[in-house]
Amino acid sequence: MSEHIDDADQAEGIEFEHLSIAVDGHVAIVTIEREDALNALNAELLLELATAFDLIEGDADVRALVITGAGRAFVAGADLQAFADVRDGFAGREAALTGQDVMNTLAALPIPTVAAINGFALGGGLEVALACDLRVAAAGAKLGLPEVTRGLIPGYGGTQRLQRLIGLARATDLVLTGRMVAADEALTLGLVSRVADDAAEAALALAQQCARNAPVALGLAKEALMRGVDVTLPQGLEIEADLFGLAVTTDDAKEGIASFFEKRDPDYRGS
């Protein structure tokens, strides 16, 4: 897990101040390391995350991603100091769009992504987790979108992704009260997929389980899920049929079917 991605062409000359990237098999692990600020998001960290996501997408050997935080927080929110003196609506809008771009890059990765919520996931931190495909929370984790308690609203996609994940009524409750929920309630709400004593360990195991599957199929399945969210059922079924048509033409599909009949583990190459 300590092996850093440092041999790819894209990585040459890149040094991260607020995060690290390691690999375990076919799984990349991004650890946010701004512990003095409970891993709060600032402009520099957002830029580093965007760079890390681009680097990971460019590595064909990476088939899944885990994101976690160092210390006692996943990400405790956006750094409020950055907004303390902002009185320009245009500047505020641009700040929100910048954060949304990073979350959109994460959400669009063609590999399974898992948030290992080891502690506080508040505001922008929960928005990072919401941009992941799956979320595993430690038993003592706290999650929420408390922006309204500070005169703000979620700006990195929280109002939109949360309602798509848990429904409008439940999302409205969390956004308008700004309250934090414990891991068990988050599981009941559908906000997280699993609760574990060790979120990082459980998230890695989940990512590794995903990474054993056919890489092209993973990307196409994720695309079908994401594109089907905002369309009618007939339109969604058309999307599914189109992507299934692509899947059956791949070498991975041939290998998967052959390995089934030959009673052996498949050897997927991602083609």
Q: Which of 17, 35, 57, 147 is catalytic?
A: 147
CA distance readout (Å), 22 to 1, 100, 145, 196, 230: 6, 25, 29, 22, 35
Rounded CA separation 269/271 (Å): 6
To the query of whether residue 127 is one of the catalytic residues in this protein, the response is yes
Catalytic residue among 12, 94, 127, 185: 127
And the tokens for 152?
Answer: 């703000």
Residue written as tokens 């009618």? 232
- Distances 178 to 40, 80, 167, 174, 226 between C-alpha atoms, Å: 18, 16, 16, 6, 27
- Strand ranges in 124-245 using DSSP code E only, listed in sequence order: 134-138, 142-144, 180-182, 194-196
Give the CA distances from residue 152 to residues 84, 116, 123, 178, 252, in Å, rounded to whole numbers and listed in that order: 11, 26, 10, 10, 47
Residues 270, 216 contacting (CB under 8 angstroms): yes
Structure tokens at 197: 């004593």
Catalytic residue numbers?
127, 147
